[in-house]
Structure 1
């Protein structure tokens, strides 16, 4: 039943409302869902299908397959009755009914063309044998429909009567605010070349000459561009000291450049302040009604667009347009939005080294208190987080420490999907105070078939890796825009038995110069050639995760940048979310608010997963 492959959707959502979320699953079925109950621990679905007989079904799967999926089916009996069954998948066969039914049929109707079913389920049913808990993890929603056989039981669906999409059931609906007064187009033309990875940039001068607020934005593509675009950014530009913006940037404006590897000079290093971000999964973004991104505060303001283009077949000469539309208003909102990049800077390249045949290699990157101490005294309020990996990333969490205590995670995804890198609207905003310590933990695995157990190092290409998280917050500050740490290259080279390397500007995998026994090999080749015993692997993991690292604290301008040494803060106990089914997790009574947060987190986790219930 149900399909093993799935269609990928792109999402970047930032709207704080409780409007039911909906999806058109395919031409036949659509579904709406919303949280219910006093503590929002229940999710309600409205499923409507252009089906009047047989059965319709929907499942929640961690990998897109039917096996292990949590499935609900509605049988449309000949006497007009609709029977809802709670089931689970055990392979490509009829799903088995659960011993305990956790779906409740609330209402149903049928006319000459459609059947509509409304039902509910708890986010966490505590049924470990047949149900999937709904959390912030990314899931695959699978669905199908078919005919009823003898005794009005399910029969196999047709190959075309099934589908799947990637979802997070805790997402909120995107609702454009009325009215959108004006828009700015930041577009550029991309021409593919023979490189598999292309970062293409363009500098734009804004026409707005007084303060306005951007209240939403979208990324647009010509049709053929979608298959190549991996992620995109809009960054504000600051001229070097002593130069005006027009004097410095006008000579580069309105021309497309390779962001990093061009023979011509391009001022990428002067355009580093993130303003807007899009990744695989993004749809139009609108901000809460009290928040906006300021534009036009400075005379002659310049922005840079940057697009990561993935061209695995190395097609040459194809040209297409893509860009950002920024929606703005002169009616200023209460707070200015800021953007903070966390994690490993991609320019650090092989500071991110995942040994071959790794199952659960964890990389840490810190934004220590010595960096956050420059935040406003009252702190900042984080309301959105975005997690960013490439192909080998499995799990990521943003850990939060204060005065020797680990607070609830700012963000987490334990079932990451690189094709669904959505921005996550937080139901409860998180306060980050001066001297708080934030750690991004990234878990990688390289045993999958497409990675073939290979060594993976950091880089900008899709086959290389990143470990980054992005926060949107208010009120805006220009003191801190990037914050992250990494292991020094010298430590890694020493561990691998390498004395000296050479790395050109366009490379991330350096050539070994000495010792003579390794000369001529690439760094990754040396790593792959090592006999990675369990003891050696553990030593390397401990060094790269728990050892001292160099953290970079970067403000808007180059003069607001400094380095500090960072490592995990000393705490008595790691934070663990409470599991309401076994009562485990959380913290002792000395930090009661953590418990309430965890309960909130569990409450939030469950609703979205069930939403896609029937199709």
Structure 2
């Protein structure tokens, strides 16, 4: 360890501050200590080395969040969300330029349709800010100025190398040209130039290497600093789930790699209070997600024998069959996560002796030289938190017989149900949801969990109207919705397949699709994890495509099965694989526009027809989860008599004034002013 610290000290003399901090973090995260005293001495030494450096990169005047937007440490963004309601959200940009700075909020990462602000300090040291928007039609072009200017400069300064501008705006401006800042994923676009403009119209097109996009949660209640502070507390111990030099194949885009780990048992009870993913540098693009499952079987024979999760040539290795309880998860873009101060998850050894780490690799470039040693570090404490948490997962059955997305369709929604017949097992033990991860693959654009109680729809449990496959970070909720016995839950996943010429099926592969949500709740019920999955009725599905019956393969194909082998008797009376039959179906040349025919029928089937439900919400005192699982044939979908109105209440109050009244109000206001004068 002393050698590592010495190396860090040498590197600090020449490295950029942000890069040095990342290096220190990596070295520290990989360090192992023989005893606590050695760890504390090493930590003190690193702290002494780093204090001057940390002063350079600290938050400015109480900013709670920050991000480096580019790869060259040239563009820093700081921000501080408002405390309540429609408060101002304050930003600060620090950019290595003496010219203009651009920042924007985009629905898809492009300029078109974006909310854009352009800032600069002129030659007379006067700051300028211009509220603009990307054109919605035609080429990107120069963004026109908004009729209503909603951004205000708070402070601006520049030195020999950098420009720093602090500005603010309301979270919701009710301006059609502005982006409402919500808990959704926001694609932050940025650009800058060394040219100092005379006016906003004098700004020239930016270079390709001084612009970019990064997805962020702008209203994310948790800060990176808070997680780091918790992880550094003296009573923390760690447990690592890492792989070692996994060779990622170059002839296949998707690899699911599984490794069994023995769960350590401690003499005193501990709580899991946080975790972070430590991705091997250089592999950030290829490590897509890690899910850790608890195993309800003795897996000792498979220790130290990592291999492909699903291998038809080795059916003895089938961890997904006996390891199905989701304990924790991370997906690409995810940030370090720390539980609220009063909450902790029961350590895995309370219910499981073994866990499996399921690593998903996405080799989209089909590179031949990728090896990986990434993993998750979990933080545990003996200082028990007063509230214990549990986990609840819901989603669709992700296989071709339960999940089909049509081609060339800009908006298609799939539905998963957890009906009252399942949630009734909660009895008098409701779940209060405080965080969760929403998950689809490449086609997903919008996800939400709807909640219905006695026919009345409540606010969404969790949602992201601008989902980004490459940014799947935990959503930490400010308000904690309660799921009660008898509630109906509806998980809706919306997909955009306009660029695909063939149908997309459910499955594990990156180019296949999923629809799921991993939620954490409190207080913990009897079991650590519970589940609720549903899928389209298989018979209804094959009949809709003109087939009569299955000729090979199980009726309900499990997620791990190779359903390429499932065949049907098609409308011509011929044997054909189910997938080929779906691909050969007439989707209609204009299905993306008119949404008639098969596309509409398929969406209606998922929304309105009965589904197969697997309910693993356990009633009280259920000793064996396998015995307690129930398969439900959902004969009715939830009836919503009163739908929830998602309209922004701030803007609703503004628009509720009829335009006809506005001249009268203005006239009355003017009259009052004149009278006062």
TM-score calculated relative to the size of structure 1: 0.84
Deviation at 1:310, TM superposition (A): 2.2
Asked if the contact 1:350–1:459 (Cα under 8 Å) also holds between the matched residues in 2, the reply is: no
Per-residue deviation, residues 487-530 of structure 1 (Å, max 9, x unmatched): 12121111112222434975233443524836453323222322
Asked if the contact 2:447–2:493 (Cα under 8 Å) also holds between the matched residues in 1, the reply is: yes
Residue aligning to 1:87: 132
Residue aligning to 2:668: none
Give, in whole Å, the separation in 1 of the partners of 2:279 and 2:651.
48
Equivalent position to 2:239, from 180, 184, 206: 184
SS of corresponding position for 1:337: strand
Give, in whole Å, the separation in 1 of the partners of 2:515 and 2:352.
34
Q: Equivalences for 1:260-271 in 2 at 5 Å?
A: 260-262=310-312, 263-266=314-317, 267-271=319-323
Equivalent position to 1:36, from 82, 100, 110: 82
Equivalent position to 1:562, from 630, 650, 656: 630
Residue aligning to 1:142: 189
SS of corresponding position for 1:428: coil
Deviation at 1:446, TM superposition (A): 1.5
Equivalent position to 1:428, from 471, 476, 479: 479
Which structure has greater helix proportion?
2
Which structure has greater strand proportion?
1
SS of corresponding position for 1:427: coil
Moved more, 55-64 or 171-180: 171-180
Give, in whole Å, the separation in 2 of the partners of 1:93 and 1:541.
37
Residue aligning to 2:378: 326
Q: Equivalences for 1:84-163 in 2 at 5 Å?
A: 84-90=129-135, 91-128=139-176, 130-146=177-193, 147-149=195-197, 153-163=202-212
Per-residue deviation, residues 526-559 of structure 1 (Å, max 9, x unmatched): 2232234624433332222111112111258322
Asked if the contact 2:536–2:612 (Cα under 8 Å) also holds between the matched residues in 1, the reply is: yes
Asked if the contact 1:381–1:431 (Cα under 8 Å) also holds between the matched residues in 2, the reply is: yes
Give, in whole Å, the separation in 2 of the partners of 1:493 and 1:584.
49
Deviation at 1:300, TM superposition (A): 7.3
Asked if the contact 1:291–1:336 (Cα under 8 Å) also holds between the matched residues in 2, the reply is: yes
Deviation at 1:149, TM superposition (A): 4.2
SS of corresponding position for 2:220: coil
Equivalent position to 1:524, from 574, 579, 591: 579
Per-residue deviation, residues 148-178 of structure 1 (Å, max 9, x unmatched): 3456732333332222211232223222215
Give, in whole Å, the separation in 1 of the partners of 2:371 and 2:196.
50
Residue aligning to 1:577: 646
* Structure 1, unaligned runs of 5 or more: 1-17, 240-247, 586-615
Residue aligning to 2:562: 507
Q: Quickly say closer, same or farther: Cα 1:227–1:521, change in 2 above 3 A.
A: farther
Q: Equivalences for 1:331-480 in 2 at 5 Å?
A: 331-346=383-398, 348-375=399-426, 377-448=428-499, 451-452=500-501, 454-478=502-526
Residue aligning to 1:204: 261
Q: Quickly say closer, same or farther: Cα 1:547–1:41, change in 2 above 3 A.
A: farther
Residue aligning to 2:610: 548
Q: Equivalences for 1:158-177 in 2 at 5 Å?
A: 158-172=207-221, 173-174=223-224, 175-176=226-227, 177=230
Query: May I ask how many residue pairs the two structures share in their alignment?
Result: 554
Give, in whole Å, the separation in 2 of the partners of 1:157 and 1:314.
32
Q: Quickly say closer, same or farther: Cα 1:528–1:283, change in 2 above 3 A.
A: same
Per-residue deviation, residues 550-593 of structure 1 (Å, max 9, x unmatched): 211125832221112334322212212133465289xxxxxxxx
Q: Quickly say closer, same or farther: Cα 1:500–1:269, change in 2 above 3 A.
A: closer
Give, in whole Å, the separation in 1 of the partners of 2:253 and 2:443.
18
Q: Quickly say closer, same or farther: Cα 1:445–1:304, change in 2 above 3 A.
A: same
Give, in whole Å, the separation in 1 of the partners of 2:424 and 2:160.
65
Moved more, 169-178 or 412-421: 169-178
Residue aligning to 1:45: 91
Asked if the contact 2:546–2:571 (Cα under 8 Å) also holds between the matched residues in 1, the reply is: no
Residue aligning to 1:14: none
Deviation at 1:408, TM superposition (A): 0.3
TM-score calculated relative to the size of structure 2: 0.77
Give, in whole Å, the separation in 2 of the partners of 1:536 and 1:207.
52
Moved more, 189-198 or 421-430: 189-198
Q: Quickly say closer, same or farther: Cα 1:227–1:84, change in 2 above 3 A.
A: closer
SS of corresponding position for 2:400: helix
Give, in whole Å, the separation in 2 of the partners of 1:198 and 1:368.
34
Q: Equivalences for 1:249-264 in 2 at 5 Å?
A: 249-262=299-312, 263-264=314-315
Q: Quickly say closer, same or farther: Cα 1:461–1:334, change in 2 above 3 A.
A: same
Per-residue deviation, residues 321-340 of structure 1 (Å, max 9, x unmatched): 22211111111111222111
SS of corresponding position for 2:640: coil
Deviation at 1:272, TM superposition (A): 1.4
Asked if the contact 2:309–2:320 (Cα under 8 Å) also holds between the matched residues in 1, the reply is: yes
Asked if the contact 1:390–1:463 (Cα under 8 Å) also holds between the matched residues in 2, the reply is: yes
Asked if the contact 1:512–1:518 (Cα under 8 Å) also holds between the matched residues in 2, the reply is: no
Q: Quickly say closer, same or farther: Cα 1:583–1:40, change in 2 above 3 A.
A: closer
Deviation at 1:445, TM superposition (A): 2.3
Moved more, 569-578 or 395-404: 569-578
Residue aligning to 1:22: 66
SS of corresponding position for 1:401: strand
Give, in whole Å, the separation in 2 of the partners of 1:215 and 1:150.
53
Give, in whole Å, the separation in 1 of the partners of 2:142 and 2:510.
38
Per-residue deviation, residues 216-268 of structure 1 (Å, max 9, x unmatched): 111223235433222111112223xxxxxxxx222112220322225141343
Asked if the contact 2:296–2:352 (Cα under 8 Å) also holds between the matched residues in 1, the reply is: no
- Residue 294 (structure 2) pairs with residue 236 (structure 1): yes
